Amino acid sequence: MAKRDYSLLGADAQRAVDTGLSAADWYLTDIPRKEMKALMKREDGPAIRDAIILFGSMIALAGIGIALWPSWLSAPFWLAYGVLYGSAMDSRWHECGHGTAFKTPWMNNVVYQIASFCMVRNPVTWRWSHARHHTDTVIVGRDPEIVAMRPPALFRIFLNFFGILDAFNGWKRMLVNATGKLDEEEATYIPDSEKPKVVRIARIWVVIYAVVITLAVAMGSILPLMVIGLPRLYGAWHHVLTGVLQHAGLAENVIDHRLNSRTVYMNPVSRFIYWNMNYHCEHHMFPMVPYHRLPELHERIKHDLPVPNTSMWQAYREVLPILRRQLQYHDEFLQRDLPEGAAPYRVDLHRSALGEDVDQPKGKADLNSPAVPAE
């Protein structure tokens, strides 16, 4: 395995720019403009319904947890509350950050701000970080949100099931930003005009946490922290469980989302928590399609996509052997076959993923050759 530098300041970042991988033209399944416009139409209704269910459930679960505190009978209610706080808020942060969940802009922004606070992700910083993730998805040195690197840091992923690294890094960055500073990587993708907003929000958050911690000390109880703060740790497992499947074990440095993004069929509860981001290949191809239209988009373009995983369990059975081999420094990735009649993967666009010899891919076969000529 060739050594990779996943930082945004290293040699691979410059190499991605020099080779044209950064800000490239990605493959898109062809959909008539009229159909695409209909799929992108925004509505308030579905997201308002889901917001009422989410926040109503959180209030009810926290209320029961407080009423039963400190009895162990409160534990199931705190665990359920934690999943909504530490996992469902991840998908709300994501979709409202795209501005597509609600039709009304202020509704998107309100939920985005709440979700960003719960996930300890500065809403200004992460709006720009996620924009880079979509522009340069799993491009080494350019994408700041790559989870499963090569070799994969499985212990880091395991710790994040309990929010240990991501949450503490979020709190650390909050404190750094509150002093008026940004770290070097943040500075590479946040415009100068936005930097004062990063600092202002961090300072507001520090005040909120200071009030909660002061209240906990005054009460001699962690109960206030069970409502604000700690759920980011004990409720993180679901968003990590689903999030790892988005890109893990798939190709790096390619510009076809069918090679680096995974769609997984999930149960209705997980889909509610995850807000349909299990249709991840579809989301990356067409990120302006609202979450509640993704199942419809999936049906429309599945003829051109790899067959989805049938469940999370089946997806992990596929992913884990690849990650295990990557741990042994084998430069492998999983490439699924495309349905008959789908547009083939283009070899000419994927030299970096395949290694020096384009005709001998290290992932699998020949990327469904023959390749479509470059346009």
Instruction: List all residues 6 or more positions away from 182 whose beta carbon is below 8 Å from its beta carbon.
Output: 125, 176, 190, 195, 198
Half-sphere exposure of 337 (CA within 13 A, CB side): 4
- As given in the structure block, the two tokens for residue 274 are 């995850």
Per-residue model confidence (pLDDT) at position 128: 86
CA distance 32 to 19: 31
DSSP string, 196-229: HHHHHHHHHHHHHHHHHHHHHHHHTSSHHHHHTT
Cα angle vertex 216, ends 210, 218, to 5°?
Answer: 100
Is the Cβ–Cβ distance between 74 and 65 less than 8 Å?
A: yes
Q: How far apart are the first and last CA of the chain?
A: 31
| CA dist., res. 341 & res. 304, Å (int) | 8
pLDDT in 10s for each residue of the chain, 375 residues? 677 899 998 999 999 998 888 988 899 999 999 999 999 999 999 999 999 999 999 999 999 999 999 999 999 999 999 999 999 999 999 999 999 999 999 999 999 999 999 999 999 988 888 889 999 999 999 999 999 898 888 999 999 999 999 999 999 999 999 999 998 888 888 888 999 999 999 999 999 999 999 999 999 999 999 999 999 999 999 999 999 999 999 999 999 999 999 999 999 999 999 999 999 999 999 999 999 999 999 999 999 999 999 999 999 999 999 999 999 877 889 988 899 999 998 765 555 444 444 343 344 434 443 333 233
Question: Could you tell me if 16 and 143 are in contact, meaning their C-beta atoms sit under 8 angstroms apart?
Answer: no
Rounded-to-integer distance, Cα 82 and Cα 28, Å:
37
Q: What pTM does this model have?
A: 0.90
**What does the alpha-carbon distance between residue 362 and residue 355 come to, in Å, rounded to a whole number?**
7
